[in-house]
Amino acid sequence: MTARSLAALATVLALAVATPLHAQIPAEVDGTPLPSLAPMVKRTAPAVVNIATRGSIEVRGGNPFMDDPFFRRFFDMPDQPRQRRQTQSAGSGVIVNAAEGLVLTNAHVVEGAEEISVTLQDDRTFNAEIVGADRGSDIAVLRIPAENLAELKMADSATIEVGDFVVAIGNPFGLGHTVTSGIVSALGRSGINPEGYEDFIQTDASINPGNSGGALVNLRGELVGVNSAILSRGGGNIGIGFAIPSNMARSVMDQLLEFGEVRRGLLGVTILTITPDIAEAYGVKETQGALVSQVMSDSAAEKAGVKTGDIIRSVDGKSVNNANELRNTIGMKRSGETVELEVIRDGRKRKIKAQLGEQAVAVQVAAEEIHQGLQGAELETLDASSPRYEGQAGVLVVTVAPGSPAAQRGLRPGDVITGVNRQQVTSLGEFQQHATGQSLLLNIRRGNATLLLPIR
């Protein structure tokens, strides 16, 4: 072999030694192990479950007139049985009490479900029962008849901060147990669902459809939030996801277990967010707080001495930045609970203690039970504390089925019925009382407009 050949062989051997066949990250550097989330995930993942639901919805015929009983009676047509279409969906849940088999999830995951199946990481599947569900906070509690379960410890979500690392575990797109990581991007987010009680944790950990009800955990493997919603234009993750804080979830769960429902506290005030103009008019330097624009008669606020014009700055020492925060804070307190309010009145701070009343539970009624001309609509008494309908009173049109008699007559979801047959109504009961006769004349508030809507 020539000297040139020997040199070439030496070069090839040197390159082979320098370049490993399978490049990989070393287990440690200078004797220090590299960080990994794997040990924490192995401990926590068995407590996260996949949830599959089955239900059915009513399918209306192709001709909307066939759903109108007056039309069928006029043409002497027999009643036809309603058809139903089967539905199914997937979500996630978190086992928070292994001994009792209790699973936390979102209320919207199990809403309308007739069958609920819970699948564990070890592939065991159980039928679940709903212990209780609260639409306002979007929390539901399920129970499964299972043994040898893992559970997640619930952390104090009040201690988390923007920038903390978090991990989301769930069932995105029905793929089964999936782990993503990120940080807490923001705290106290609201306005995602104006009708709900919100104090969301925002995170950039990937949350997608199917993650709803899954776990958001800290690096200690503790539950800090229940994944609930995403902000997306195309339906996929864009780095903005929201989770319900564990403290809120725990509070709702405790009431669902005790009462079967959430008995929310009621202060009994109409409130406004402080604007710079309002702050100037009331002689305060900051725009933090909620202005009391009305005190309801015989309410907890009136009994405690709250006055119109007071600015509520905090509840039990927790600052209130705007009207929505005050609504959320009071709404997550129990009825009968005593709270301490810090208010500004005539430029001076005052401390006021109030024992909260109880919010009425919204009851939805099929409008056809009141009048056949309203068939296809769902009604409930308007929640005047909702930011969207602040200070209003009446009956809210919750849903209107497309093509139904109610839709044909011009009723729309979100309409507020303020009167019927020249009688003012402030509740569903009053509406039922005055909605008599074959024809109705409804006073409707639709956005900023008012209109009269005849129903025959």
So where are the chain's domains?
45-143, 157-259, 265-358, 365-455
The segments of the chain whose pLDDT lies below 70 read: 1-32, 56-87, 193-195, 232-237, 360-364, 384-391
The CATH number for 157-259, chosen from 3.40.50.2000, 1.10.340.30, 2.60.120.10, 2.40.10.10, is 2.40.10.10
The answer for residues whose C-beta is within 8 angstroms of residue 415's C-beta and 6 or more apart is 396, 397, 444, 445, 446
Contact 230, 237 (CB under 8 A): yes
Annotated active-site residue 371? The verdict is: no
Write the pLDDT tens digit of every residue in 50-106: 999 887 665 555 555 555 555 555 555 565 555 666 667 788 999 999 999 999 999
Nearest to 91, CA basis, from 52, 117, 119: 52
Q: Regarding the domain delimited by 365-455, which CATH topology (the fold level of the hierarchy) does it fall under?
A: Pdz3 Domain (2.30.42)
| CATH class of segment(s) 265-358 | mainly beta
pLDDT score at 352:
93
- CA dist., res. 119 & res. 132, Å (int): 20
Confirm whether 45-143 and 265-358 share one CATH topology. no
- CA dist., res. 226 & res. 251, Å (int): 13
| CATH class of segment(s) 45-143 | mainly beta
Q: Is 183 helix (H, G, I), strand (E, B) or coil?
A: strand
Set 212, 299, 314, 404: catalytic member: 212
Q: What is the sign, positive or negative, of the torsion defined by CA atoms of 189, 234, 228, 223?
A: negative
- CA dist., res. 329 & res. 306, Å (int): 17
Structure tokens at 357: 């009343």
Set 67, 68, 134, 138: catalytic member: 138
pLDDT score at 120:
93
- CA dist., res. 329 & res. 198, Å (int): 9
Ramachandran quadrant class, 420 (left: phi over 0; alpha: psi -120 to 50; beta: rest): beta
DSSP β-ladder status, 311-315 and 290-295: antiparallel
Set 108, 157, 204, 299: catalytic member: 108
Lookup result for tokens 């200070």? 391
- CA dist., res. 345 & res. 326, Å (int): 17
pTM over 0.75: no
Contact 355, 341 (CB under 8 A): no
Annotated active-site residue 157? The verdict is: no
Residues facing residue 381 across a β-bridge:
395
Nearest to 203, CA basis, from 250, 247, 167: 167
Annotated active-site residue 439? The verdict is: no
CA 33 remoteness from chain centre: 41
